[in-house]
Structures are given as structure tokens and as C-alpha cells.
Amino acid sequence: MPTSVPLILASASPRRKQLLTEAGYTIEVDPSDIDEPEPTPGTLAVDYVALLAWRKASAVARRRGNGLVLAADTACAVEGEILNKPEDRADAERMIRLQEGRDTKVLTGICLYRAERDEWVGAVEISVVRFRVLDNAERHAFLDSNRWAGKAGAYGVQDSDPFVSVARGSFTNVVGLPMERLTALLQNFPNLTR
């Protein structure tokens, strides 16, 4: 059940906005616009997404001074390698080939930050996505479509891409915002919504 308190979404993601709106949340979009550096070697994906979500939320909270800020960061992980948004077509192809025929993790860090009290809570949700092997024609058609642009791991499960499916965990997490986890955070930390 959505909170009656409006959420300030620290993201320009149309997918996150759509998920929240469809679930009945009142939101205001205010992207954090922070730098999102690539992870350093050895960084765990769970730590990476948690830190970026907190950095986004705290940046918007400091700028605004009041309100309940929601931030999220999503990345994919394959055998310890973190896959963010591809830089170009070649990078998208590298990511797709790396994931083909495997189960890969999708991690989303979320952070709720009450600006006026400087209080926050965060969590990381992990889902598993199954990738089938593509033939060359399928792979090139997908890359030519540019549907990979701006998406962690170079794909979007919400686009009904036929080569990927959610094997375990939250579908909305793979889209970019684990709605079940958000609901649990809001219920478990009601002081944030007062």
C-alpha cells in the first residue's frame, strides 16, 4: 500500500516513474545528476549499488532540505563483473555475449532519505535473470535496435526481449525498482513517513 507522503524520486528513469505511478504513489521527479563512476576492481556489486543509491538520495536531500527522497541504482553482475549501462554498441555486444547461456544477477540498491531529519534507510534486492544463447542474426538485430541503450546489462526485461527471463526474484527489481522491497521499507520504518 503506497504511503500518503509524496516521494521525491532522485532519478530521471521513466521505468521507475512508471512503476511508482502505476502502484499509486504520489511522486515528484528530481534527478540527482551525481557522477556515477565505474566500480574499482574488486568492488562487490552489492556494495556498489547500495553506495550509489545512498549518494543519489543524500545529494537530493541536501539540495532540497525537506521531503522523503527515494533513490535507486541497478546493475547486473556476472561472475563478479559489474555491468552498468553500455557505453556504445560494442560495449552492449560484449555485455550480451558475456551473459548468454547464463543465469546472471540483477541488483538494485534503494535508499529512502528523510531530508529534514537526516535519517535514511537502505536495502539491496537481488534477482536472477536467465539468458539464452542468441544466434548471430538475433544478436545483430537486437544491437541494431538500440533497445540496449541506457539499460544496465544492455537489455530490458520490460521490453519483452525474447532471450531473457526472470528466473528468481522480483520482476520489478529487474525493471529497476523492487516495489516489494520499497513497500517493506516504508512499513518497517514508518518514522520516515511522518
Domains and CATH numbers, the chain: 7-193 (3.90.950.10)
Gap between the Cα atoms of 134 and 122, Å rounded: 36
Residues present in the chain in total: 194
Cβ atoms of 175 and 19 within 8 Å: the answer is yes
Cβ atoms of 178 and 172 within 8 Å: the answer is yes
Q: Which residues are catalytic?
A: 73
CA distances from 145 to 41, 88, 89, 100, 141 (A): 31, 13, 10, 18, 6
- Residue in the structure block whose three cell numbers are 531530508: 115
The pLDDT score that the predictor gives to residue 150 is 87
Q: What's the average model confidence in pLDDT over 127-139?
A: 92
3-state helix, strand, coil in the chain (%, to 5): 40, 25, 35
Percent of the chain clearing pLDDT 70 (strictly above): 98
Gap between the Cα atoms of 77 and 85, Å rounded: 12
Question: pLDDT confidence of 178, banded at 50, 70, 90?
Answer: very high
Question: pLDDT confidence of 188, banded at 50, 70, 90?
Answer: confident
Gap between the Cα atoms of 41 and 62, Å rounded: 30
Indicate the pTM of the whole model: 0.91
Q: Which residue in 16, 54, 14, 12 sits closest to 29, CA to CA?
A: 12
The pLDDT score that the predictor gives to residue 194 is 75
Residue type, 12: A
Question: pLDDT confidence of 192, banded at 50, 70, 90?
Answer: confident
DSSP conformation class of 169: S
User: Does the structure show a pLDDT above 70 at 15?
Assistant: yes
